[in-house]
Amino acid sequence: MSVQSPDRPAIGSADAPPAVPIYRALLPSADALLPYLRIIDANRHYANRGELVRRLETRLREQIAAPGCAVLTAASGTAALQAAILAQTGRADPARPFALIAGYTFVATAMAAEACGYTPVFVDIDPATWAIDPAALRHHDRLARTGIVLAVAPYGRPHDQQAWADFATSTGVPVVIDAAASFEALLRNPATLTGTVPVVLSFHATKAFATGEGGAVIWSDIEGLKRCARAMNFGFLYSRESRAAGFNGKMSEYHAAIGLAALDGWDATAAASARLAARYRAIAVRAGLGDRLILASEIASNYALFRADSRSDALASCACLEAAAIEHRFWYGPGLHREPYFAAHRPAALPATEACAAALLGIPVFPDIDEPAIERIIAALARTAP
């Protein structure tokens, strides 16, 4: 039973509208999976690069990789990040203990570096791209003692593969690009986004293209991808001798089945998410908020962002959303350097990261969000926006 109050109906009461979740994943149905599950039954090959993992990697290579690049799947985006770091430069050593990491990202980016022994050093972003500016990073005072740079493509926005390749060549410091949410950006532009700098994707259930849990590394360096595979299989490659640092980061056949079914249905998924973004935008424009909403295809379709003018405006919007039972989220928290775990290292202040983190508010969008819910979200935001 819900408690009623005279001025505001309790959430979940009969007369209150239902709460709108920030995200509600929709992965392939059991019927869509069944043909692939039957292949697994017949093969009795459940893990360690079976037929379905190899088929998924081939189809992904054809669709999201530049000619000459290959795709290696992983158990998660974080596993793919760790594998790419180990393949690029191995575990941290005393001469190069640092990983330079964008302050504005999901915690997984820094967790992956730590798992490989690196001490995260957070770097501020360019307010226009929300990402590290590779030109500015050339002058970073820790560069000489840096083992790896982790650049990030925030919310699946396109990254600058060429600029990072130039950075790596001129500084000698290897780079991995955490493009966890960039499946759609890569589909649109594989030739410029993939190449000599490894690009890591996540296929977590909340990403636009999902396998439940999963991830991938895309790279033109085929020997490098073999080192990724070795890292994700206990240091084994073509033998039972462990020859490098590793862990279990492999994708299972069951997760590959979800990925193959998701690719089968991708055209319909993409058409629906384009229609949804257009509808969302039209409703926002009608409310005078057209310039405040950031939607696909500017960012990945699993995100919708509301751009507030300041931290206090964002908090006022949060309060209005809260009152309307609309879930919302600062997807990258206050900036990684201000997460309690990392703040213990007393990192430097990162003003652009903090400004972005405070102003970009995640609002609900998901495959079957309905129009009344979008109307409610926009109405709640219109109550606070000047």
Ligand X SMILES: *Cc1c(COP(=O)(O)O)cnc(C)c1O
Which position among 147, 158, 215, 362 is part of the footprint of ligand X (CB under 6 A)?
215
Which position among 36, 64, 78, 212 is part of the footprint of ligand X (CB under 6 A)?
78
Name the DSSP letter for residue 217.
E
The tokens for 268 are 């319909």
Q: Which helix (H) or strand (E) holds 26?
A: none
Output the smallest distance, CB 70 to ligand X, in A: 20
Cα-based angle 215, 301, 378 (whole degrees, multiple of 5): 140
Q: Is residue 300 involved in binding ligand X (CB under 6 A)? A: no
Question: 293 has which bridge partners?
Answer: 306
Cα-based angle 66, 107, 222 (whole degrees, multiple of 5): 25
Which position among 60, 69, 76, 125 is part of the footprint of ligand X (CB under 6 A)?
76
Longest dimension (CA), the chain: 71
Q: Is residue 252 involved in binding ligand X (CB under 6 A)? A: no
**Residue closer to ligand X (CB basis): 78 or 161:** 78
The tokens for 86 are 């180990």
Which position among 160, 178, 221, 354 is part of the footprint of ligand X (CB under 6 A)?
178
Residue owning tokens 């798992």:
115
Output the smallest distance, CB 41 to ligand X, in A: 27
Which position among 177, 181, 296, 308 is part of the footprint of ligand X (CB under 6 A)?
181
| Window of 13-21, 39-47, 105-113, 277-285 that interacts with ligand X by CB under 6 A | 105-113
- Provide the 3-class DSSP secondary structure of residue 30: helix
Output the smallest distance, CB 109 to ligand X, in A: 5
Whether 121 and 141 have beta carbons less than 8 Å apart is answered as no
Q: Is residue 106 involved in binding ligand X (CB under 6 A)? A: yes
**Residue closer to ligand X (CB basis): 79 or 385:** 79
Output the smallest distance, CB 222 to ligand X, in A: 24
Which position among 61, 157, 159, 204 is part of the footprint of ligand X (CB under 6 A)?
204
Whether 370 and 312 have beta carbons less than 8 Å apart is answered as no
Name the DSSP letter for residue 17.
P
Q: Which helix (H) or strand (E) holds 315?
A: helix 311-323
**Residue closer to ligand X (CB basis): 215 or 381:** 215
Binding site for ligand X (CB under 6 A): 76-78, 105-106, 108-109, 152, 178, 180-181, 202, 204, 215
